[in-house]
Structure 1
Amino acid sequence: MSSRILIVDDDPVQRRLLKAAAERAGYETELFQDGAAALDRLTSPGASVDAVVLDLMMPEMSGLEVLERLAGAEIAVPVIVQTGHGGIETVVQAMRAGAFDFVVKPVSPERLALSLRNALKAMSSPVAPRLKGNGSGFASIVAASPAMDRVVSLAQRAAASGIPVVLEGESGVGKEMVARAIQVESARRGKPFVTVNCGAIPENLVESILFGHEKGAFTGASERHAGKFKEADGGTLFLDEVGELPPDIQVKLLRAVQTGEIETVGARLPKKVDIRLISATNKDLIAEVKAGRFREDLYYRLNVFPIHIPALRKRKEDIPQLVRHFISRFSSAIGSHRISGIAPEAMALLTAHDWPGNIRELENAIHRAIVLSDGKRLTCDLFPQIAAQLPGYKLGAADASGEAGLVAIDTNGPVQRSYRDVSRDEADAQAHADVTAPQPAPPMEPSYPSVSAITPDGEVRRIAELEEELIRFALLFYGGQMSEVARRLGIGRSTLYRKLKDYAIDPDHPNREAA
């Protein structure tokens, strides 16, 4: 019997699109145009509903109000919220209110199907599911965001050929995982996959480690070493942080890429190798070429098929998926099956964090929390370092149950409001006592530059100058969320990307001067 999904949206067009996407994935659907009608259905005796897709912005009763009513009625149906307005603050409120996942309008059918599948798995299992991280290849990549869908799509195309690939992105975004997936899905599956971190090798040993050496080739060479290129013969060589290679090694790498031959230290003749080369870097290689630190000819040899992997802060939709994946993985690894999930407040905390260390930092935070946890689910007090980095938030004292909560600090007065798990009676009492209490928000607004239409000489500025400055302002104001920036500026995303290129604006650092 197929699962039944409730779709709640005041927009009839959105309802039809969501209905078509859910039914294409094999689910039965019921449609509602407002939250009150959906609540009546969910709270009716014998209601058989497996999941809810809920719009956050609706007249009369918002999606957040629906979530709060469901929590008050102790209805445990998983809710996937849709948002097309507001920033990450709205998402954090939804996760705190108990949403299982969130999607950004317009959601693709594939993204909706994945989110529904994960929600239904979570409800049917006492332990958080492995989600999309099962198996190998691209099935091992845990992702739900459109940005990562594009990465996987490009990587799948690259896997179908032997084309050289460069994976770009910050440290910890998962470049090596994508490289391994390309290897597994390529014709070289089952062959060696050899990883070299070019930035971790002493400069005087790089040549020997990459290309090998003969016995007696230099002082200390007491035996022959094949080298990483030879180890990877027939398979894939993954050069991580390729931008760190010394200039003389770049020359030898260029020859290896061009001719398929390597020159072993101390050998008289070159050796043939058959490898698939995948490189990775957290640097801007074009900038390195301009600065003379990276050979231009090598750059064009390696950068045949570039794939940019965005930072985790640019794809917040992936955070809930990754959190549940790591909970499942580490609970099994340490032999503890007591962890059944994560509290909504803790999920909201993790979603709000920018994760400068990306997936690696998130993975370590979850691992540490599981080791320290004594309860059935992860709570806010297990992430003190994360809470300390969010402006205006701190961990409150533990309550009677031993669980600490997040406290939003109001700088306009001494009042503090705690957001932790409370009983239904406590929640009702708090709601009546503090009806007008503000939503949790950082006490200090970030400092944004002003946009002036007048020059220092008192003249009106040119339109192009104002446009560039306004785009930079919008990127800062909306935290680099390109869809939101384009929508607020009243232009299409393709137009926005073109203008970023025209004005040489780096979307990750919009406040920097154009190069």
Structure 2
Amino acid sequence: MHKVLIVDDDPIQCRLTSETVSKAGFDPIAVESGHEAMTVLRRTAGIGAMILDLVMPDMDGMAVLEAMKREGIVIPVIVQTAQSSLDTVVSAMRLGASDFFVKPVAPERITISLRNAMKMGTLETTLRAERDKRAGTFGFTHIIGTSAAVGRAIALGKKAATSTIPVLIEGESGTGKEVLARAIQGSGDRAGKPFITVNCGAIPPNLVESILFGHVKGAFTGAVANAPGKFREAHNGTLFLDEVGELPPETQVKLLRALQEGEIEPVGASKPVKVNVRVISATNRRLLNLAKEGHFREDLYYRLNVFPIYMPPLRDRREDIPALVEHFIARFAAEEGRRVSAIDAGALEMLTSHDWPGNIRQLENAIFRAVVLAETTTLRPADFPQILAAVRGPETARSEAAQTAAPAAPIHIDNAPPLPRLADINPASIPDRFLDKDGNLLPLAEIEKDLIAFAIDFNAGRMAQVARQLGIGRSTLYRKLKEYGLDGSEGSNVA
């Protein structure tokens, strides 16, 4: 549940606003001065928005907005005041206010403004994280999660950021190891410098050495130009070696020398090259076990494992799932242009109870699919059919899907009935429009009469269209109507 900070020196107004916020599904925190508000903002995590009164003694609302801007506290602020002045509105908006209303205000207006502010705040956080990631200033504040398990990893990461010590991040696939590595780099002295990522498990063995350390022109067939390699691309910055346990043994030897001596030897080069690179490595398997089995060099393991950090799986930090879900909904709804804005309690409970073997990456993809295919603005359990089947069983998933207003589903290939064979069809059971009940051919006049009657009914009495479709003139059509006794000309639309 999001926390909403309410700042108003009027105790009655403060209490009324708190009740409105509580009924809207948020957790209100009420204070009666600007100084108290700043203290709460500095010490309390998880505040999603603030309702701020502008006119207060000592520290007024404008001073609070200025202090927030000065200290880099970024949350949506809804300003309220009893004085409606255009200059006041403009000043508040320039200082970062997201909405403005004049007292007294209807509870519905507060609720709508709060929900819009929460949505905007989540989207702004996402965009700011992407900008910081590109700029190399991605920090620990961008990591979503307040659980104790991820808190330990963040605390260790902050300590690692203050030095150039080699860091080894272990954890299952999809737990956010690269996100933690970016936060370590963005919070240290190398912030803003290159952050180069190498997936060691995705490089062909014969190209690993060239990609990491580079090569000179003519070093091997196809080397038509010099290539710097990832180490030189990351000079003065950080090199992130993902799935480092997949490196071949011959490359492990050269990596060990690069870490110890701070120099690399490009393929085909006559002398080594000095590099200033901080290495952060990650693996989804225990490197110690690989070293004991002889698949990874022990000396390299001890060189990489100077400062180990463990990223917990999502099943060990379930309390972080609601915040992650909200983040992904806001992000994908904006990217895909969808009007999805929330998730109902049943669906959120289902996602929280799932074990997520693919961790955050699997959750992200599940939300992406649900946002794209959702028929309503609120995600429901039926929008997660695979998770619903895994958590509550396939029967529940089918019943939930049946209750969802959606186009008729096609017949599954396993349940498609066979087409009838000609031998199974009784010709006598098929009526013929050219035969009477005794099997004799109908007269031409009867067939023509039935065709004209059908055409009139099909075209809703529009005689000009009937004549065009039958390929006859309108005078001929009226003559035949009179001849066959069809009362189609009276009351018809002859346009």
Q: TM-score range by the shorter chain?
A: 0.5 to 0.7
The equivalent residue for 2:458 is: none
C-alpha contact 2:218 2:225 (8 A) present in aligned 1: yes
Q: Deviations over 1:240-271 (max 9, x none)?
A: 00000011111000000000010110001000
| 1:286-317: CA deviation from partner (whole Å, max 9, x where unpaired) | 11111011111111111111110000011001
Label 1:375 to 1:3 Cα distance change in 2 as closer, same or farther (>3 A).
closer
2:250 maps to: 248
Residues 380 and 111 from structure 1, CA distance in 2 versus in 1: closer, same or farther, beyond 3 angstroms? farther
C-alpha spacing 1:390/1:334, structure 2 compared with 1 (3 Å): same
Please name the residue that 2:213 is paired with. 211
Alignment of 1:175 with 2:177, yes or no, is yes
Distance 1:119 1:321 in 2: 18
1:402 corresponding residue in structure 2: 405
Partner of 1:305: 307
Code of the residue aligned with 1:223 in structure 2: it is A
**Do residues 143 (structure 1) and 145 (structure 2) align?**
yes
* TM-aligned CA distance change 1:202 to 1:299, over 3 Å: same
Aligned equivalents of 1:387, 1:333: Cα separation in 2:
25
Give the distance between the partners of 2:360 and 2:224, measured in 1 at CA. 41
On the 8 A contact 2:4/2:48 being kept in 1, the answer is no
Check if 1:270 corresponds to 2:218. Answer: no
Three-state SS of the structure 2 residue aligned to 1:367 is helix
Gap change, CA 1:202 and 1:352, over 3 Å in 2: same
Partners of 1:290 and 1:51 lie apart in 2 by: 57
TM-superposed CA distance for 1:332, in Å, is: 1.1
More helix as a share of residues: 2
The answer for the alignment partner of 2:391 in structure 1 is 390
Distance 1:292 1:397 in 2: 51
1: distance between equivalents of 2:385 and 2:8?
A: 40
1:76 to 6, 24, 28: 24
Q: Is the 8 A contact 2:4 2:49 kept in 1?
A: no
The answer as to whether partners of 2:195 and 2:239 remain within 8 angstroms in 1 is yes
CA positional deviation for 1:114:
2.8
Cα distance in structure 2, aligned partners of 1:160 and 1:247: 32
CA distance in 2, matches of 1:78, 1:328: 18
Contact 1:50 1:78 in 2 (8 A): no
Preserved CA contact (<8 Å) 1:155 1:178? yes
Rate the CA distance shift 1:116–1:232 in 2: closer, same or farther, 3 A. closer
Could you tell me how far apart the structure 1 residues matched to 2:403 and 2:309 are?
A: 50
Residue pair 2:196, 2:239 contacting (<8 A) in 1 also: yes
Measured after TM superposition, the shift of residue 189 of structure 1 is: 1.2
Q: What whole-Å deviation, never above 9, does each CA across 1:411-440 have from its counterpart, x for those lacking one? A: xxxxxxxxxxxxxxxxxxxxxxxxxxxxxx
Q: 1:112 to 1:366 in 2, by over 3 A?
A: farther
Q: Is the 8 A contact 2:169 2:311 kept in 1?
A: yes
User: Could you tell me which amino acid in structure 2 is paired with residue 251 of structure 1?
Assistant: V
Q: Are residue 374 (structure 1) and residue 387 (structure 2) matched?
A: no
1:174-209 deviations in whole A, cap 9, x for unaligned? 111111111111111111110000000000110010
| Structure 1: gaps spanning 5 or more residues | 6-25, 31-44, 53-74, 81-108, 405-515
1:341 matched to 2:342: yes
Please point out which of 265, 285, 288 is paired with 1:286.
288
The count of residues paired between Structure 1 and Structure 2 equals 317
**Pair 400,212 (structure 1): closer, same or farther in 2 beyond 3 Å:** closer
Q: Distance in 2 between matches of 1:353 and 1:359?
A: 12
Letter of the 1:232 counterpart: A
Distance in 2, matches of 1:310 and 1:51, equals 34
* Distance in 2, Cα, partners of 1:110 & 1:48: 17
Q: Give the letter aligned to residue 184 of structure 1.
A: G
Verify the 8 A CA contact 1:326 1:363 in the aligned structure 2. Answer: yes
* Aligned position for 1:157: 159
Instruction: Find the aligned partners of 1:322 and 1:27 in 2 and give their Cα distance.
Output: 31
Change (3 A) 1:284 1:189: same
Alpha carbons of structure 1 residues 216 and 343: separation in structure 2 relative to 1, 3 Å? same
Q: Residue 48 of structure 1 corresponds to which residue in structure 2?
A: 18
CA offset at residue 401 of structure 1? 7.2
Letter in 2 for 1:255: R
- 1:391–1:327 Cα change, 3 Å: closer
Aligned-partner Cα distance in 1 for 2:177–2:331 = 20
Q: Is the 8 A contact 2:4 2:27 kept in 1?
A: no
| Structure 2 CA distance for partners of 1:50 and 1:262, relative to 1, 3 Å | farther
Q: C-alpha deviations, 1:102-135, integer Å up to 9, x for none?
A: xxxxxxx999943454799896133634286554
Quote the residue 2:122 is aligned against: 130
**C-alpha distance 111-169 of structure 1, shift in aligned 2 (>3 A):** farther
Q: Is the 8 A contact 1:213 1:266 kept in 2?
A: yes
For 2:357, give the aligned amino acid: P
TM-score normalised per structure 1: 0.57
CA distance in 1, matches of 2:267, 2:5: 66
| 1:333 CA drift (Å) | 1.1
User: Residue in 2 aligned with 1:84?
Assistant: none
**Residues in 2 aligned to 1:118 and 1:303: alpha-carbon distance in whole angstroms:** 41
Mapped to 2, the partners of 1:46 and 1:193 lie a distance apart of: 50
CA distance in 2, matches of 1:330, 1:278: 30
Distance in 2 between residues matched to 1:200 and 1:111, nearest whole Å = 44
Amino acid at match of 1:358: N
Distance 2:368 2:302 in 1: 40
Letter in 2 for 1:376: T
What secondary structure, in the 3-state scheme, does the structure 2 residue paired with 1:390 have? helix
Unmatched tracts of structure 2, length 5 or more: 29-39, 52-74, 77-110, 130-137, 408-495
Q: CA deviation at 1:392?
A: 3.9
Residue in structure 2 matching 1:166, options 157, 163, 168: 168
3-state SS of paired residue (1:239): strand
CA distance 1:399–1:267, change in 2 (3 Å): closer
Partner amino acid, structure 2, of 1:77: G
Q: Secondary structure at the match of 2:241?
A: strand
The 3 A distance-change label for structure 1 pair 392 and 149 is: same
1:70 corresponds to = none
Secondary structure, counterpart of 1:402 in structure 2: coil
Tell me the distance in 1 between the aligned counterparts of 2:389 and 2:175. 23
Deviation (angstroms), 1:374: 2.4
SS state at 1:351 partner: helix
Q: Could you say if the C-alpha distance between residues 194 and 215 of structure 1 is closer, same or farther in structure 2, counting changes exceeding 3 Å?
A: same
- Measure how far apart 1:364 and its partner are: 0.7
Contact 2:340 2:377 in 1 (8 A): yes
Describe the SS at the equivalent of 1:287: helix
Q: TM-score, normalised by structure 2?
A: 0.59
User: Deviation of residue 147 (structure 1)?
Assistant: 1.1
Q: Say if 2:325 is the partner of 1:323.
A: yes
SS in 2 for 1:48: helix
1:296 paired residue number: 298
Q: Which amino acid aligns with 1:370?
A: V
1:334 CA displacement = 1.6
* Counterpart residue type for residue 125 of structure 1: R
Matched residues in 1 for 2:294 and 2:42: separation? 43
Give the counterpart letter for 2:405 in structure 1: G
